[in-house]
């Protein structure tokens, strides 16, 4: 609470608060969006409607106001007036109208939330013994407005003046006349706080009241710096394109958090970028995916969901928060896993698919690194390396011919590779036994996805152990290579895209797969393998100090995302028919990937991504051009960095902006 409002309260004898858009905020972006919520609720609980409720409801209110003025010069109407016009003017059946009216009242009661800024002023009024009154131009019954205030924590006040009950409005000034007569005090003794220029400020002052105008979210957006203003304006425009109530609720949730209730929570830092990015872009993606996952897992009667590390850790946290709201939701477990830790123990023969995995990666590695990441001692294979056609262990594998030689090398040491696989398999199966996988008949695997190879490895390992289990994979997305796993009998489903379809969402992910993986980064190293320690099996985790700054940023992103999940989830608890569609869940992040601000391109582009598996990998920037001096001396470096960039759009955004050319 700022000093200006504190001083005004201390000078006042009474403090008056406007209700809607001041003391309480709706969960939707625009008041009329509530009618879409009512329609969705009706369709989900009662049945279909013959017309769009929103259009009929808006026109019924207009007609009711016109009738009230022309027939009796009334400046205010009631909810009953509106629904009477709906029946008479639009032929809505009485029973249907009654049900819709009841749902509208219920939606108002459930769909309003406290404005923490105004609540702090309200509490200060109580602490300083200032009498409080609430005033509203509203067609809802006075008792409904009272219940809304109570539900939002405003339980102690002396007066409540509602236009529908009194037939007088702030907009006309007649309600202020009624208040002054009721209180019997000097007008200047009343401080009125509200958001509307005319009814809360101009008319109140005209009747002698002191006023404090509460700034709306739209006005606050215009006062932000260019980057944050663009980010929130882009967010606010989302509901217009999507045209659904879920989009309206998303926008209202974001604006309420970032501009009103508590502003930014970015622990240990003055930088709000990562928290806001998580709240705006990652939160809806996580919530949408987990909502979809819950519905599928319950339908499939999965016994336990295993969330694979590292991408699955944040997903498990979201799941564990949301799942108690869903009946028959399966329990969850965090399963330490990685391509290296699962795929190597699953090797039984060096077929072409296994060789594809062993030579995989986009970074240019030395022969010795390919051997080390399998857990082999390179010094034992110098002869085999030369026989395969390499000059030595330190030769880099660059060309197609080099990769043919590498496959030849692996075939020549197949027995040694299988020996490593057998040894690691025994330990890994003990770990599976410890987490209960070997005892389950129907399990779910949850991961970010893409190719589904880890699910295939788990299935192979269970078969090798003599166990049979029905495994279903649930993924954020899968690409076309995952179809081969499906053809091998792996059951899998995906939220955003399955086997690369629809292409529109697949294309959005492919703009920068690495940023999707950054959102899911866990605060621990990748699993290298498993080892027995003091009679127990534990994962051996990579220790990489270079990833710690990246993990700190990812943690801030995930804090923001979890706050969004909690706040959007609170709405979902009240209206369980709401559905975060894949398109809506992806759209905020899609806007960043497709058309980033310079700030977004710089901050996200400066992240480094490790390419490889095991403890052998190379790090490259997501999208970072060379410094201006480097580019001037060596113009080709601009092209080289572009080819190396994971996020081409972000790279080009930086290249077009002098400020984006951040020197190395």
Burial group, residue 166, by CB count within 10 angstroms (0-12, 13-18, 19+): middle
Q: What is the pLDDT of residue 270?
A: 56
The pLDDT assigned to 265 comes to 44
Question: Which residues are 527's β-sheet partners?
Answer: 541
pLDDT (average), residues 499-518: 95
* Average pLDDT over every residue of 33-60: 94
Q: What confidence score (pLDDT) does residue 261 get?
A: 64
What pLDDT score does 98 carry? 97
CB contact set of 361 (below 8 Å; sequence gap of 6+): 611, 612, 613, 617
**More confident of the two residues 146 and 372:** 146
The model's pLDDT over 255-290, given as tens digits with 9 standing for 90+, comes to 888 887 655 444 444 578 999 999 999 999 999 999
**pTM given for the model:** 0.90
Nearest 5 degrees, angle CA 108-CA 114-CA 117?
145
Give tens-digit pLDDT for 373-400. 888 999 999 999 999 999 999 999 999 9
How confident is the model at residue 266, as a pLDDT? 44
* β-bridge partners, 620: 609
Note the pLDDT of residue 264: 43
Average pLDDT over residues 166-176: 96
Contacts (Cβ under 8 Å, ≥6 apart) of 270: none
Cα–Cα distance between 587 and 247 in angstroms, integer?
10
Q: By C-alpha distance, which of 550, 660, 652, 531 is closest to 598?
A: 660
CB 308 within 8 A of CB 333: no
């Amino acid at each position: 609470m700022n000093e200006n409002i504190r001083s005004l309260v201390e000078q006042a004898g009474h403090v008056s608060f406007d209700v809607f858009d001041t003391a309480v905020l709706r969960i939707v972006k625009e008041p009329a969006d509530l009618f879409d919520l009512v329609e969705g609720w009706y369709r989900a609980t009662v049945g279909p409607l013959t017309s769009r409720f929103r259009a009929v409801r808006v026109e019924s209110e207009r007609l009711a106001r016109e009738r009230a003025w022309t027939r009796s010069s009334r400046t205010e109407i009631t909810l009953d007036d509106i629904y009477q016009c709906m029946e008479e003017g639009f032929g809505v059946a009485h029973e249907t109208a009654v049900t819709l009216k009841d749902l509208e009242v219920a939606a108002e009661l459930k769909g309003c939330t406290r404005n923490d800024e105004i609540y702090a002023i309200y509490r200060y009024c109580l602490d300083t013994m200032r009498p409080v009154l609430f005033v509203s131009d509203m067609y809802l019954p006075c008792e409904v407005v009272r219940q809304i205030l109570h539900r939002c924590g405003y339980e102690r006040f002396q007066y409540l003046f509602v236009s529908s009950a009194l037939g007088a409005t702030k907009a006309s000034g007649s309600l202020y006349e009624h208040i002054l007569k009721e209180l019997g005090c000097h007008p200047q003794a009343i401080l009125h706080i509200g958001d509307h220029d005319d009814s809360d400020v101009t008319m109140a002052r005209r009747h002698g009241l002191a006023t404090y105008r509460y700034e709306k979210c739209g006005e606050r957006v215009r006062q932000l710096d260019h980057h944050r203003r663009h980010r929130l304006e882009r967010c606010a425009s989302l509901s217009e394109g999507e045209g659904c109530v879920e989009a309206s609720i998303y926008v209202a949730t974001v604006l309420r958090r970032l501009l009103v209730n508590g502003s930014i929570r970015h622990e240990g830092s003055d930088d709000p970028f990562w928290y806001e990015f998580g709240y705006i872009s990652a939160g809806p993606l996580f919530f949408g995916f987990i909502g979809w996952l819950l519905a599928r897992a319950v339908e499939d009667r999965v016994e336990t969901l295993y969330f694979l590390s590292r991408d699955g850790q944040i997903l498990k946290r979201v799941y564990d928060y949301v799942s108690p709201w869903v009946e028959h939701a399966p329990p969850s477990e965090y399963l330490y896993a990685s391509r290296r830790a699962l795929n190597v123990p699953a090797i039984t023969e060096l077929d072409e698919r296994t060789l594809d995995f062993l030579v995989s990666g986009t970074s240019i590695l030395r022969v010795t690194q390919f051997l080390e990441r399998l857990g082999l001692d390179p010094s034992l294979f110098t002869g085999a390396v030369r026989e395969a056609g390499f000059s030595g262990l330190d030769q880099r594998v660059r060309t197609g011919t080099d990769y043919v030689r590498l496959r030849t090398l692996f075939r020549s040491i197949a027995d040694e590779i299988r020996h490593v696989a057998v040894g690691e398999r025994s330990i890994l199966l003990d770990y599976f036994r410890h987490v209960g996988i070997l005892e389950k008949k129907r399990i779910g695997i949850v991961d970010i996805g893409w190719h589904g190879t880890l699910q295939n490895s788990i299935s192979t390992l269970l078969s090798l152990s003599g166990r049979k289990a029905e495994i279903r994979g649930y993924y954020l997305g899968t690409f076309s290579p995952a179809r081969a796993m499906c053809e091998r009998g792996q059951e899998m489903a995906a939220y955003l895209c399955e086997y690369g379809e629809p292409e529109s969402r697949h294309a959005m992910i492919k703009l920068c797969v690495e940023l999707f993986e950054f959102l899911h980064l866990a605060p621990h190293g990748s699993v290298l393998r498993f080892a027995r320690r003091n009679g127990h099996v534990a994962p051996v985790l990579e220790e990489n100090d270079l990833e710690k700054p990246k993990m700190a940023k990812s943690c801030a992103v995930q804090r923001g995302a979890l706050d969004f999940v909690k706040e959007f989830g609170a709405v979902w608890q009240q209206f369980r028919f709401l559905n975060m569609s894949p398109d809506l869940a992806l759209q905020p992040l899609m806007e960043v990937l497709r058309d980033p601000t310079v700030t977004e391109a710089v901050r996200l582009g400066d992240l480094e991504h490790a390419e490889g598996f095991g403890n052998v990998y190379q790090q490259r920037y997501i999208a970072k051009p060379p410094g201006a001096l480097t580019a001037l001396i060596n113009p080709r470096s601009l092209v080289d960095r572009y080819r190396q960039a994971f996020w081409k759009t972000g790279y080009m955004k930086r290249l077009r902006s002098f400020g984006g050319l951040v020197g190395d």
